[in-house]
Copies of this chain bind each other. A is one copy, B any other.
Amino acid sequence: MKEIDIIPSTLKEAVERISELPGYGEKSARRLAVNLLDMPRGEAIQLIKTLLDMLERIHPCSECGLYTEEEICSICSSEERDRSVICVVEETFDAFAIEKTGKFNGLYHVIGGRLSPLEGITAEDLNIDKLVKRVETNNIKEVILATNPTVEGEATASYIYNLLKDKNILVSRIAYGLPFGAVLENADDFTLSKALEHKTII
């Protein structure tokens, strides 16, 4: 009996491409594709167009790396922020979480990940050179290292500390109010507020 290949080619291609996203395997990719096909078509197309719109309009702030729709993000262009303090975070949503506490009034710097020898992520893959340049060319008095309190986050903080320790600025690490191994983005406001208040001078 001749076997007919009945999976439509655009569905196959969609599943292949979704599988390339972090955390997706073939089955979860297939599930997402079929869920999209099962939705009322107008809603699914609207969802996809929203994603396309997002990809066309959002890019990293040319100063700090936060995702923004402008050339310079609303934090970097605000006159109400303390421009002498930079809070270093791994990802944009970490900064959003800190911002929600209302306890930080400085600027951010998104390095875009963490050092991870296992995943082959080295300092060159992260937005760290730019941070050192910002510290050297602006009147920065303090850098708060708010990478996640994980093994990789700690290693990343140490690495950055070593690059900044001779620059005659204060370098601090966000306080361990956070439980070790946790993910910063998931912390509640109170814990995150405490961690900012009790930052320890390195």
Q: Is the CB of A17 within 8 A of B50?
A: yes
Q: Is the CB of A80 within 8 A of B2?
A: yes
Residues of B near A91 (CB, < 8 A) are 34
Q: Is the CB of B21 within 8 A of A32?
A: yes
CB-based closest 9 A-B pairs: A10-B54, A14-B54, A17-B47, A8-B69, A48-B52, A17-B50, A10-B57, A48-B51, A14-B50
Give A55 to B50 CA distance when docked, in angstroms.
14
B-facing residues in A52-75 (Cβ within 8 Å): 52-59, 66-69, 73-75
Chain A's interface: helix, strand, loop or mixed, by majority? Answer: helix
Q: Is the CB of B21 within 8 A of A58?
A: no
Give A126 to B55 CA distance when docked, in angstroms.
36
Give A32 to B55 CA distance when docked, in angstroms.
12
Residues of B near A5 (CB, < 8 A) are 74
Instruction: Please name the residue on chain B nearest to A100 by beta carbon.
Output: B3
Residues of B near A22 (CB, < 8 A) are 35
Query: Is residue A95 contacting chain B, with contact meaning CB distance below 8 A?
Result: yes
